[in-house]
Amino acid sequence: MSKKIMGLVLILCAVLALLFIGIPGLSGMVGTEDPVPPSIPPTRSPGITDVPETPVSPPTNATGITEEQAKAIAIDAFPEIIGTDTAEVRLIDQPYSRRSWEVDDFSADTDVPGARTAQAWIDIGTGEIYQFAVHAGKKGRPVDPAITMEEACAIADRYVENWSGGEPLELLVKRYDDEESALSGTVAGAYSIRYGRLIRGVPCTEDGPAVEVDAVTGEICRYDSVRETDETECRVAADPSISSTRAEEILKTHLQETYGDLPGLIIHSTVLRWAIPRAYPDYPDGVPLVWRIYFDDDHYRSLTCPQTTVAEIDAHTGEVLACYYQPDAT
């Protein structure tokens, strides 16, 4: 009798294990804390072999462009880099990601001066290339940029005019980054320039185009556009009810009550923004207007890669809607 009972128990355990394995995403849910999943699919590097041998097709009930149409769009945009026989295509269809085709061509040898590879993400519904990246080798690149930040911004301004369609944009970020490699050392990199889409005079946290301008050639080597905020959902007043100073005081009180003293706490900037809509799906008045506060402390500055973190304070109620500080960040 005991052997029969033991056998039944083993069978039951096996069935439960199979059920657990068969539930998509169940094992990955444990410990997930990020409330704002990224909207941009991660960039793959040459050599990644996760592309199926059989091309992935959209579900039969899906509408929009086909894999072959997406491939043709990418080839037309980058005829000197993406080839008919060398391009790889995969479907991007994940939560919080734009449903799209990713077209890659990593066939070129970037150790050869002038050789380039490229990636393009194409919206399945519209056929729009909403993101692309062109990668060039570092061999033979000069150490110093050949164009200035002002010239790079002018190039970016002209490029994003088509994206905006007359909508007002605000320049939010402009930054220059060198490139590093074990073989070439430090060489000239790219200028990163990001714009915020304005709704009633206030920039969106995420909406807007971002470009990278090659600091040697002046070419656009990376582009990304996000447009997720429905203007009709920005229903609260665009003028904040509390000041930025008051928002900073609220944050300091929150940090003190939650984590105690944070040695070396520094607030670097406080900016008014429309929040990312998907971050607050239950907010009663559509899209929140927030004070985004960027800060760090001695702990964050002591990390191998020093960083800042951010908190969001409701610009009307003063509620701490989000705080991404992690005392155990590594």
Q: Give the pLDDT confidence of 284-327 residue by residue, as tens digits.
A: 999 999 999 999 999 999 999 999 999 999 999 999 999 999 99
State the average pLDDT for the chain.
83
Give 54's contacts (C-beta < 8 A, 6+ positions apart): none
CA atoms of 316 and 330, how far apart (whole Å): 34
- Contact between 205 and 233 under an 8 Å Cβ cutoff? The reply is no
More confident residue, 33 or 246: 246
Locate tokens 């269809």: which residue? 93
Q: Length of the chain, please? A: 330
Reported pTM: 0.74
Supply the pLDDT for residue 63: 57
Per CATH, domain 143-228 is 3.20.20.80: no
CA atoms of 243 and 322, how far apart (whole Å): 18
- Contact between 145 and 188 under an 8 Å Cβ cutoff? The reply is yes
Kindly state the tokens that stand for 191: 């200028």
Residue 212: name the closest of 200, 224, 203 by CA: 224
CA atoms of 26 and 306, how far apart (whole Å): 33
Q: What is the CATH number of domain 35-137?
A: 3.10.450
CA atoms of 253 and 282, how far apart (whole Å): 25
Which strand (E) or helix (H) includes residue 213?
Answer: strand 208-214
Q: Give the pLDDT confidence of 132-145 residue by residue, as tens digits.
A: 999 988 888 899 99
More confident residue, 234 or 38: 234
| Domain residue ranges of the chain, discontinuous segments joined by + | 35-137, 143-228, 244-323
- CATH fold of 244-323 reads Nuclear Transport Factor 2; Chain: A, (3.10.450)
Whether the predicted pLDDT of 328 surpasses 80 = yes
SS3 (DSSP) at 158: helix
Tell me whether domains 143-228 and 244-323 share a fold.
Answer: yes
Give the pLDDT band (50/70/90) at residue 94. confident
